[in-house]
Amino acid sequence: MLDQLSALEAEALAALETVADSGALQAWHQRYLGKRGALTPFLRGMGQLPPEERPEAGQAVNRAKLALTEAYETREAALQAAERARSLSAKAVDVSLPGRPPSVGRLHPSTQTLRRVYSIFADMGFQVYRAPDVETDELNFELLNIPPHHPARDMWDTFYTTREGVLLRTHTSPGQIRAMREYCPEPIRVILPGLCYRYEQVTARSEMMFFQVEGLAVGKRITMTDLKGTMAEYARRMFGENRKMRFRASHFPFTEPSVEVDMDCILCEGKGCRVCKYTGWLEISGAGMVHPVVLRNGGYDPAVYSGFAFGMGVERPAMLVHGIDDIRYFFGNDMRFLRQF
Ligand code: FA5
């Protein structure tokens, strides 16, 4: 029996040497140390031995069991270590791969243009004043001297909400009333940037939604000269040193007198081209002296105070600066266009 036991032990240890993975290791354990394994008959057979042989045989079986268990545990630890090393090297980070560049966001071309406008007017002492996109008919039209049925309303058709008298503003001018009512009787020097909405035919030059920047200065001795100087400085900083300016008589119900501010075409230097419709001039802003009715609606006494105001687009000058030939690109959300800025 002892010979058989040591033969079994030798066989089991030899078999353990060939075990290469945890599956095979479990099979080995079942085969030799499991409940129905090869060692069990030796343990069970103890009762059949004559009593004097039992202690020696018992010790031998226990020693064999212990030896096999220890060998099993050593093998198990070795296999686990090998498997961990394998999986670590399989999942290793290959630092020689070129990295993926992070995609960097950028500012929309209208925002970039707006920021240039802010910085130019900030240097002239203008603060940014925010006014809402959703306005009342009263502020967008009536308080700006455009009563219901006034023909000027035809130029500024808009989108109406389901609430009576509430609409999307057609221009940034209603912000003039808000600023005046907030600051009166202090002097004012603000620009009012923001989106405007118009119900009109969308073309290469006209959108339904576009940015404007309004300007407003109110004080005790403000004259048309201040307006001219401010517009000339803006054009010079925005479009280049030697810009020529032209002020053409025009009409807006909220300014008197009213003008259109033109500058010489930056593309043909005033010689005449397709962009300036062969006139040599480009319109950059509507403007004028704040109408006495509007000053009064803002809380200022027109006998004491005067002011100038202007309102200009943002996308149209951006088109000139960047040579963009269709305004619809701005809000078309085409990344091929937006990535260029
Ligand atoms: C106005 O909106 C006046 N509120 C401007 C003003 C303010 C005059 C203060 C006097 C005093 P107008 O409708 O011309 O004016 O628009 C001004 C500018 O907005 C235009 O020169 C143009 O650059 C831009 N604009 C107007 N309509 C569109 C449109 N559909 N798409 C893109 N830009 C537009």
Q: Is residue 96 part of a domain?
A: no
Same domain, 121 and 77: no
Q: Is residue 74 part of a domain?
A: yes
pLDDT at 116: 96
Q: Is residue 95 part of a domain?
A: no
CA–CA distance from 134 to each of 16, 201, 207 (Å)? 82, 21, 18
How far is the C-alpha of 184 from the C-alpha of 107, rounded, in Å?
Answer: 35
Q: Is residue 296 part of a domain?
A: yes
- Give the DSSP letter string of 103-140: PPP---HHHHHHHHHHHHHHHTTPEE----SEEEHHHH
In the structure, what pLDDT confidence band is assigned to residue 186 with cuts at 50, 70 and 90? Answer: very high
| Angle between the N-to-C axes of helices 54-90 and 22-32, in degrees from 0 to 180, rounded to the nearest 10 | 170
pLDDT at 114: 97
Which tokens hold the place of 331?
């809000």
Same domain, 290 and 322: yes
- Say yes or no to pLDDT of 82 above 90: no
pLDDT at 234: 95
Same domain, 72 and 135: no
Residue 173: name the closest of 88, 255, 69, 91 by CA. 255
pLDDT at 6: 87
**Ligand 1, atom 23: nearest CA belongs to which residue?**
313
Same domain, 72 and 167: no
Same domain, 214 and 333: yes
Cα(18) to centroid(ligand 1), Å:
88
Number of domains comprising the chain: 2
Domain end: 26, 53, 88, which one? 88
Q: Would the CB of 255 count as within 6 Å of ligand 1?
A: yes
Least confident of 56-70, 120-134, 182-196, 301-315: 56-70
Q: Is residue 223 part of a domain?
A: yes
Tell me which amino acid residue 302 is.
P
Q: Would the CB of 158 count as within 6 Å of ligand 1?
A: no
Q: Is residue 97 part of a domain?
A: no
pLDDT at 143: 98
- Say yes or no to pLDDT of 11 above 80: yes
Burial of residue 128 (number of CB atoms within 10 Å: 0-12, 13-18, 19+): middle
Number of other CB atoms surrounding residue 283 within 10 Å: 17
Torsion of CA 91, 95, 97, 102, to 10 degrees: 100
Same domain, 68 and 151: no
Q: Would the CB of 110 count as within 6 Å of ligand 1?
A: no
pLDDT at 336: 94
pLDDT at 205: 85
Same domain, 177 and 243: yes
- Say yes or no to pLDDT of 174 above 90: yes
Higher pLDDT, 96 or 295: 295
- Say yes or no to pLDDT of 12 above 80: yes
pLDDT digits (tens, 9 = 90+) for 218-251: 999 999 999 999 999 999 999 888 889 999 999 9
Q: Would the CB of 176 count as within 6 Å of ligand 1?
A: no
- Say yes or no to pLDDT of 53 above 90: no
What is the span of the domain harbouring residue 306?
109-338
Same domain, 58 and 135: no
Token look-up 């010079």 returns 236
pLDDT at 144: 97
Higher pLDDT, 43 or 137: 137
Q: Would the CB of 310 count as within 6 Å of ligand 1?
A: yes
pLDDT at 137: 97
Torsion of CA 50, 52, 57, 58, to 10 degrees: 100
In the structure, what pLDDT confidence band is assigned to residue 333 with cuts at 50, 70 and 90? Answer: very high
Domain end: 57, 88, 119, which one? 88
- Say yes or no to pLDDT of 157 above 80: yes
Nearest atom, ligand 1, residue 156 CA: 13
Q: Is residue 115 part of a domain?
A: yes
In the structure, what pLDDT confidence band is assigned to residue 288 with cuts at 50, 70 and 90? Answer: very high
**Ligand 1, atom 6: nearest CA belongs to which residue?**
311
Higher pLDDT, 193 or 89: 193
How far is the C-alpha of 137 from the C-alpha of 65, rounded, in Å?
Answer: 97
pLDDT at 49: 83
Q: Would the CB of 313 count as within 6 Å of ligand 1?
A: yes
pLDDT at 296: 98
- Say yes or no to pLDDT of 255 above 90: yes
Domain end: 59, 88, 117, which one? 88
Q: Please, which residues bridge with residue 248 across strands?
A: 260
- The CATH number of whichever domain residue 245 belongs to comes to 3.30.930.10
Same domain, 84 and 127: no
Same domain, 56 and 137: no
pLDDT digits (tens, 9 = 90+) for 101-135: 888 889 999 999 999 999 999 999 999 999 999 99
- Say yes or no to pLDDT of 307 above 90: yes
Same domain, 257 and 313: yes
Q: Is residue 218 part of a domain?
A: yes
pLDDT at 48: 84
Report CA torsion sign: 289, 293, 294, 295.
Answer: positive
Same domain, 75 and 195: no
